[in-house]
Chains A and B, each alone.
Chain A
Amino acid sequence: MAHHGQTIPVENPGTLEQNVGQLGLFAMYAGAIGLLIAGLIAVTSNNWERFQFSYLHNLCFALSIALGALFFILIQHLTRAGWSTVVRRLAEMMTNGIVPLAVLFVPIVFLLLNGSDVLFLWNNKELAATDPLLIHKQIYLNPMWFTIRAIVYFAFWILCSRYYLMTSAKQDETGDPQLSLRMERYSAVSLILFALSITFASVDWIMSLDPRWFSTIIGVYYFANANVAFYATLAIVVHFANSKGMLNETVNAEHRHDIGKLLFGFNCFWAYIAFSQYLLYWYANIPEETVWYMRRQENGWEMVSLILIIGHFAIPFLGLMSRTVKRNPSQLFCWAVYLLVMCWIDLYWLIIPEVSPGSPAPGLIDLGCLVGIGGFFVFGTVKLSEQFTVLAVKDPRLQESLAFHNI
């Protein structure tokens, strides 16, 4: 019980570099080795297509964590949230991961501009000129315009996340409350732009893999998944930080409880959105819409669909419901790891059936790409965040966050 009116002393936990040491370097080696192995297997087994899809899938997965973090930061500022100040800096550091992902996205754009139609079928000139559906979509789905859009998304995400990180870091020195107000002022417009960018990015990179299919909810679907992935990652990061003796005095059961609540809530939100899309398509029974679900209901993909229904929704719904589970560090950590795996499977289910409709089994290529992209993602995140303190030490709402109590 915090005693009212007294300030709680805050120890400066030091910069990330002082806390994690060689993690970034290790992640870089892992990333290089992972991508190299995946590439080698792809070349030797002549499975270059699968490599590209797997690469995109893991890129979208890593991106979903970083975008979830960005959304989290914007929402905290917009709602003047106090409780989350102790973990906000961790989220701000996570958004740095968008930078290495932007670099990793370059090969996809490069191949597209060179006329490759392996990933994006609509880039096949012959098909796009003859298919009655694709003729009309060419105005949006063409390599040049796609590239411009990708640049715009990444530019906005990087600028926005850097702004919030740098401003918050400046506050570490000055403690100026004006900076908080300024961040709050920009958060609303940033959120609108964020919603648009994540929606169109989902349309471009996930929905257009099957260019004849369409779903108006795909952006929200990816967004819901991004939130689950982020809160799971945040819980994992907090757990590791505490096990390393970092932030032990600041992040307590109350904050874990709230992270758990958000994880639980957004997981239910994901189920709601996923089911909304499924019900309307499957029950309206219009072939051009149901074909996408058919692909995910045969040749073993029905097992993956069932894993998502039961494993991504039903099990965590019951498992994460209890207050005790959310407040217990190791139990919350286990559920977070579990849900992060489920988010990965969810994106796998979104993307991979377009290249491998006949078999849902993940292979070494997927593992290599996961380690590869994940490694570079962690490396970039750590490298770019090294000089920052792991806690917003002079944030005007830090006291409120430290004294935070769930009712």
Chain B
Amino acid sequence: MTTAVEEHPKVVAPAPEPSLAGYVAQFADVPSLLNAAEKTRDAGFKSFDCYVPFPVHGIDEAMGIKPSRLPFIVLGCAFAGATTAMALQYLTNAFDYQYIISGKPMFSIPADMPVTFELSVLFSAFGALLGMLALNNLPKFYNRIFFVDPFQKVTTDGFFLGIECEDPKFHKEDTAQFLKALNPVRVDECIDPNASTALPKLLAPLAIFLLIVGLIPLVLLARIRAMPKDVPRVEILTDMDFQPKLKSQRTSKMFTDGRGMRPIIAGTLARGDFYEDIPLSEGLEADASAEIDHSLLLPNAKNPDGTTVKLGDFAWVTEIPLDVNEELMARGEARYNIYCSVCHGKTGKGDGLVSQRAMALQKGTPGIGTWIKPITLYDQPIRDQAVGQIFNTITHGVRKMPGYASQIPVEDRWAIVLYVRALQKAGSATLDQLPEEEQKRLQADVQ
């Protein structure tokens, strides 16, 4: 602005007159300051204060200051914190959104204690800090005592006592005399320049302007989110809604054929499969397996000419393709008792509980019943089967029996085969095959 502006005469407030705001006395050491504070207190002054570089024990008593009200503020805040915490937990856990956690009560006082304690402490801390600031009239941006020159020593080695002019007992001459009688180092007048303490005129419009400017983006966002549109809304917080991952049954822009779900590459084997080891995984001899139509191995399969498949004719393995030992036998017994004994019975006789119940249910209705009693495992036809065929039966099932391939892993199926062989041996044993003591015991039992 270089153009001259014509000045208009304005009504100007009278220039501020400096006035006496009080007296500040400096003392040499703590005892003389304490002594002066006591004297000032006893003289009946109320509006005076001491200024020291470090806390002085007993100064509040010397000045006649009552104990602080801060503890009560803190106590009130602590109770407010406890109440808030309890109410918050009650509303969230027991009222608004009930959620059972391991069968515990919705509202359990012991469980709420930690949060209650923390919030009480938090509110107390806030109460202590803010209450201290409020009681001390802080923050204070301006204090007239700083216009007293020697007062700068208050942060190093100066001990000051100031009496303010607001005190009803304050008197221009008498108070100065009174202070001088207290044996101070020096007494200074505190002159308040009474400079205007009004804020700059521009400050309020500027603050309002900045506030409005700061609100613009928020308003725009709110408008965008609230307006009807035919494209997706602006997401302020996307919350991982849009991820560059393939979802099932969707097209993909990444591949030329557009398929999101990729076909398996030829020759891929699933982990843990036994395609390599034919005898182990199918119970068939390896070279025979390649020529067989595997659909014929399923239960009730028919040959192309309509005749029933004779499973016994296939080239089954006759040896269990695993190390046969006690461990495998024990495993086989355990698995057999879990999966097989419910129908076949613990001994393989076909008297499992399921079988017994089914027989009992269809007792009164001859001819209607569809339950076929499981075959006795130590009958001759089963004993004549190769281990591979028994394995195949467990895998795919036979007649009413479902296949167990999905439930029992391959090694466990072989373990069951081994145990079935043991049951067959036990079920068809004759007396002379037993050890001698057993023979004697059994004969004694018979007699």
Interface residues of A, Cβ cutoff 8 Å to B: 1-5, 275, 278-279, 282-283, 285, 321, 323, 405, 407
Contact = CB atoms under 8 A, between A and B. Distances in A.
B57 A283 contact: no
Contact of B61 (A1, A5, A279, A283): A1
8 contacts: A1-B58, A4-B30, A4-B34, A282-B110, A283-B104, A405-B57, A405-B58, A407-B55
Contacts of B188: none
A407 B59 CA distance: 9
B67 interface: yes
Contacts of A285: 102, 104
B62 to A, nearest CB: 7
Interface in B321-361: none
B30 A278 contact: no
B60 interface: yes
Nearest to A322: B71
B113 interface: yes
A interface majority secondary structure: loop
Nearest to B57: A405
B38 interface: yes
Contacts, number: 34
Nearest to A279: B110
Shortest 4 CB-CB contacts between residues of A and residues of B: A4-B31, A405-B58, A279-B110, A405-B57
B114 interface: yes
Q: What is the interface residue range for chain B against chain A?
A: 20 to 34
Contact of B31 (A3, A275, A282, A323): A3
A20 to B, nearest CB: 35
A147 B418 CA distance: 61
B interface majority secondary structure: helix
Contacts of B75: 321
Contacts of B110: 275, 278-279, 282-283
A407 B54 CA distance: 13
A405 B113 CA distance: 36
A279 B57 contact: no
Given A1-B38, A405-B57, 12 more contacts: A2-B58, A3-B31, A4-B30, A275-B110, A275-B113, A278-B110, A279-B114, A283-B104, A283-B108, A321-B75, A323-B71, A405-B61
Nearest to B114: A279
A189 B190 CA distance: 57
Max chain A C-beta neighbours (<10 A), residue from B75, B108, B110, B114: B110
A407 B103 CA distance: 52
A36 B114 CA distance: 47
B111 interface: yes
A85 B185 CA distance: 37
A283 B102 CA distance: 10
Nearest to A407: B57
Contact of A1 (B30, B62, B102, B108): B62
